[in-house]
Structure 1
């Protein structure tokens, strides 16, 4: 856990100045607390004597000892007010600057988490539960925030108070003060054992909380399916199991967490009782000096207990940090080589040479050899699981070939930086992805510096300009999260327009029409008919009718190209493509007759 906490503390380095200001406030709190303890004895004598003896009876503040009664009557209360005001200002400075420090630390941590998430491969994130990822952003980061807000400040403030108050107690009587303070190291061993138990249970609780969030996310996302199959009881049972495990871990941690201050309370009471009995029998000190000593000792136990309490925040932060750093330490499967250079604009072809790739034990590409020539529309067709979408993942450097080579104009893609390779492609996926904002914002996502005229020109090419202008505010219309205000065909045409605006050398359409209804598909097909001619494009399709005009069609099965040629050539051969064509066209005819 210590290594995790040290890594978390690195986020504090840029904000050391803010922490230093908070420490000034903590120092004021510590010093004024010590002053309260120091002045308790003189205050009692002053009260009992009615001010007749001023401060002289305490004989511990010589520079005030000779004050006359009139000055003492208002002077002592004034000193107490000044001490109290200084302590209040110290608390204000401490909490304000510690709050500022915690928020800046958490802001940097969230930024790094978001940066790491957006830098990972989609395949990596697909293996994670979305709810668990969101839990790390919320509950785990909140645990770090609490530690930054309370633990760091408490360690500094309370440690300082312990030192000051212990000094006051030992100054009053080294023997009695030492006896009363002996409880602090005695409690260290059992407290450390309880803290380790808290760490273990807290780690389990954070994991189960992630499972709960994942279950909730899956349940809400699949609500239609759950209700359609009457699966509510099964989902509730799964959720209840995670909730029970979370409750068990949290309750166990709470028991151990509560035992630490309880242990301190018992030991403190025992030490205090023993010291009082000894002091009373031996008559070692004057009453007012003994009162100052007792006050210092009583006050010192509170910051000691606070240190034990906030240590639990550190434990929670350590458990949360393990989960956060497991995410931050994830590496993209395609990292740039030290000598990687930017890729030049594609001019001739893209080649897959003997490429093999597998997801775990499941092979996706098995010695794939394929060429995408510049200026041509190349199509990949075939049944599900043939490896078509894996080709896209390799092209966009989401994954790296496990064997074989991906060549850009004859040069291994590993020679180039991943971002420059991705810049060669504009992608349109099966699920049209739009962002919350205006139509103009979504189209400019591909090229933020594009002029409005360029945006409108790209929309016209994609057959999107007409419906955009019909929207309430045209290009400035807000379309809601994921474009919820638009139809499926409209969303997909916006995605095509965005890809056109990107002006990338290669257009990649990955099942761009497969999830659309027939009417929306016809709209998108018309847009593609205007976009594709003369472009370098890779079109991945399940429906053969969408790629009949491609220059080259490649039929993929089991991770290999089994047939290649134009639509007419492949039909004439009467092979696998011809069989797929007959199956799809005959199925369409039967549905039309029905």
Structure 2
């Protein structure tokens, strides 16, 4: 992405607030004009006051300078407020737009992009951008305007001295252009390295119990130190380039000023120009010097802003591979011409029957390993289907495809015999409730977690769902009941309590299709029995797919599907599979023996 396209994207977010920009520009031009007028005030003070020896003229000149200072202060207040407001508002809009796009991206995007990296872009990069737009960008504009105006006033005041100043401009701009490119490249690397630091720290903190249980605190500290040191080295290079740039600009600017003062002083001594004119000229020359110095400093900051903007635009322009038919017509016409998808269908009007037909699927991060191979299976409406098999058999992959988190490379996944690509993904998922083996809870209170997915549910409906999931009793014992905050990822609850909150959420959403990934696996025997009763009630009349690790929980299933290495190897009831499927028989034998072993101490007591 080149700099021009990056700035164009940034300007797109600024356009809605053009009135604020116009106001800021008017205030900027006003203050720049006052600043330039002060130079003439300085000339009057020197010529009419100091040199002429007139107290009254000195008083008038000083009052004029004070009035100019008051006007400049008012203009500066307006400019600073408007530009700072714009910096905050535009940054907030960019952050919101990036987040809105990120939450709609396909899951495979997050297989290759770490969450810590994405968070860094949403926080660190947007904070940097806010600083640039609200401060550095304003300083750059002010410097450009005042420096341009001061250069004009230099020529108006004295052409010969002005030529000395102008002769030094190319020498000053040259290092800015040369070092600016290097600063931009290093700024991007610096932001990436900071993101790596945040990502590493976030992962270690998220897995803190594992880190401490394996006593790897020292190892993680050393590894984090390597990441921090790497980020520091990149920042050190960037700082060195910026420091060199600033030093060269200052040297060249004040070298030109020194030459100008020598020539100007000679002209005053010989009577060619007045002391007031030299004073005004020095004032304008100092404005030019400070303006160029500010630009050289801000230029590095603007390069950092370009790097940060590039990283944000990459997220903003990332496209989801899972698209709805009505928004993906052009892409579908070009990429799926050999297998055209029919127009959008309404899943609410379809039978709750799902099917996979000759599906072949590879995860994007594992392109050489098939998760499903020539996989065909139908989940009949209102029936309970259980998927069993060893780890890695592809059971969870079936759920991923049914929810259309991914599309298969070959074959079809259908809803009521219609390809899932005919449906809006959000409308499709509104027909499905998922209870995962590791329930996902948010940093919120109990009622908000249960209500997730159905924000309009009343408190009475939430409590009824909690009672149906046998969660009401333990929720009432929490410090603030249903208003109790659960902490990050529900850290304040036990595994079984988290599971029952997730089940209550599924009950409240009341969807036609249930996907249960061993929903009772984290419960004790008593709770499991209660929740199983609740699930039995919930599953009635609904199409249910269960990933089962404990075979005792799926004896009532209408269909048990045995999977191995991404294929269906057997289907049937529990009794028939014991006879026809050696794999199922072996799984049952191992598991029921383990269950008997677990129950032996209880009988002896």
After TM superposition, the score normalised by the length of structure 2 is 0.90
Q: Which residue of 1 aligns with 2:199?
A: 214
Instruction: Give 1:100's aligned residue.
Output: 85
> Which of 371, 378, 381 pairs up with 1:364?
371
Cα deviation, 1:477-523, whole Å, max 9, x if unaligned, reads 44444334433222222211211221211011123233445555444
1:495 aligns with 2:495: no
Q: Distance in 2 between matches of 1:313 and 1:346?
A: 56
CA contact (8 A) 2:175 2:249 kept: no
* Compared CA separation, residues 325 and 521, structure 1 to 2 (3 A): farther
- Could you list the per-position Cα deviations for residues 90-118 of structure 1 after superposition, in whole angstroms to 9, with x for gaps in the alignment? 22112111110000011101111221221
Deviation at 1:320, TM superposition (A): 1.5
CA deviation digits over 1:135-180, x for unaligned, max 9? 1122111221122112331232111101211111110112211221
Taking the aligned partners of 2:526 and 2:549, their CA distance within structure 1 comes to 17
Report how many aligned residue pairs link the two structures: 577
Mapped partners of 2:183, 2:527: distance in 1: 57
Q: SS at 1:397's partner residue?
A: coil
Structure 1 residues 348 and 261, CA gap change in structure 2 (3 angstroms):
closer
CA contact (8 A) 2:183 2:303 kept: yes
State how 1:345-356 maps to structure 2 within 5 Å: 345-347=349-351, 349-356=353-360
Match of 1:37 among 33, 36, 39: 39
SS of equivalent residue, structure 1 residue 187: helix
Once the two structures are overlaid, the 10-residue window that deviates more, 289-298 or 147-156, is 147-156
Counterpart CA distance in 1 for 2:551 and 2:279 is 93
1:382 & 1:46 partners in 2: Cα distance? 99
What is residue 344 of structure 1 aligned with on the other side? Answer: 348
Task: Tell me how far apart the structure 1 counterparts of residues 375 and 76 of structure 2 sit (CA, whole Å).
Answer: 68
Match of 2:313 among 325, 335, 358: 325
Q: Which residue of 2 aligns with 1:19?
A: 21
Alignment match, 2:470? 463
Q: Does 1:577 align with 2:584?
A: yes
Alpha-carbon offset, residue 397 of structure 1: 1.3
Q: Is the 8 A contact 1:5 1:317 kept in 2?
A: no
Per-residue Cα deviation, 1:289-312 (whole angstroms, up to 9, x for no partner): 122111111121111111121111
- Map of 1:285 onto structure 2: 273
Alpha-carbon contact 1:488-1:520 (below 8 Å) kept: no
Q: Is the 8 A contact 2:254 2:289 kept in 1?
A: no
Return the match for 1:442 from 449, 452, 468: 449
Task: Supply the distance in 2 between the matched residues of 1:591 and 1:126 (Cα, whole angstroms).
Answer: 38
Contact 1:181 1:297 in 2 (8 A): no
Separation in structure 1 between the aligned mates of residue 484 and residue 250 of structure 2, nearest angstrom: 64
Contact 1:463 1:526 in 2 (8 A): no
1:490–1:19: structure 2 CA closer, same or farther, 3 Å change rule? same
Structure 1 segments of 4+ aligned residues over 6 angstroms from their partners: none
Indicate yes or no: 2:177 matched with 1:192: yes
Structure 2 distance, partners of 1:517, 1:482, is 21
Q: Return the alpha-carbon distance in structure 1 between the equivalents of residues 119 and 545 of structure 2.
A: 34
1:443-592 paired onto structure 2 within 5 Å: 443-471=450-478, 473-516=480-523, 518=525, 520-592=527-599
Q: Distance in 1 between matches of 2:445 and 2:257?
A: 70
- Check the 8 A contact 1:37/1:165 in 2, yes or no: no
Q: 1:78–1:342: structure 2 CA closer, same or farther, 3 Å change rule?
A: farther
Which deviations, in whole Å up to 9, do the C-alpha atoms of 1:44-72 show, x marking residues without a partner?
Answer: 233425752xxxxxxxxxxxxxxxx75x3
**Structure 1 residues 120, 516: closer, same or farther in 2, change over 3 A?**
farther
State the SS of the aligned residue for 1:344: helix
What is the match of residue 310 of structure 1? 298
Tell me how far apart the structure 1 counterparts of residues 69 and 80 of structure 2 sit (CA, whole Å). 17
C-alpha distance after superposition, 1:278-331 (max 9, x if no partner): 334454312211221111111211111111211112111121122222222222
- Equivalent position of 1:86 in the other structure: 71
C-alpha contact 1:23 1:157 (8 A) present in aligned 2: no
Q: Does 1:399 align with 2:403?
A: no
- Cα offset for 1:375? 0.7
Shift of 1:241: 2.1
Structure 1 residues not aligned, in runs of 5+: 53-68
Distance in 2 of aligned mates of 1:476 and 1:233: 39
Equivalent residue for 1:274?
A: 259
**Conserved? CA contact 1:136–1:323, under 8 Å:** yes
Q: How far apart in 1 are the matches of 2:454 and 2:468?
A: 16
1:358: how far off? 0.6
Partners of 1:366 and 1:494 in 2: how far apart?
Answer: 35
- 1:406 partner SS: strand
Give yes or no for contact 1:368–1:561 (8 Å, CA) kept in 2: yes
Aligned-pair RMSD on alpha carbons? 2.2
Cα deviation for residue 84 of structure 1 reads 0.5
Secondary structure at the aligned position of 1:182 is classed as helix
Kindly indicate whether the alpha-carbon contact (under 8 Å) linking 2:570 and 2:581 is maintained by their aligned counterparts in 1. no
Which has the larger displacement, 480-489 or 306-315?
A: 480-489
Q: TM-score, normalised by structure 1?
A: 0.92
Name the counterpart of 1:242.
Answer: 227
**In structure 1, what is the Cα distance between the partners aligned to 2:106 and 2:535?**
28
Tell me the secondary structure at the aligned position of residue 334 of structure 1.
coil
- Distance of aligned partners of 1:436 and 1:230 in 2 relative to their CA distance in 1, 3 Å threshold: closer
CA distance in 2, matches of 1:268, 1:171: 20
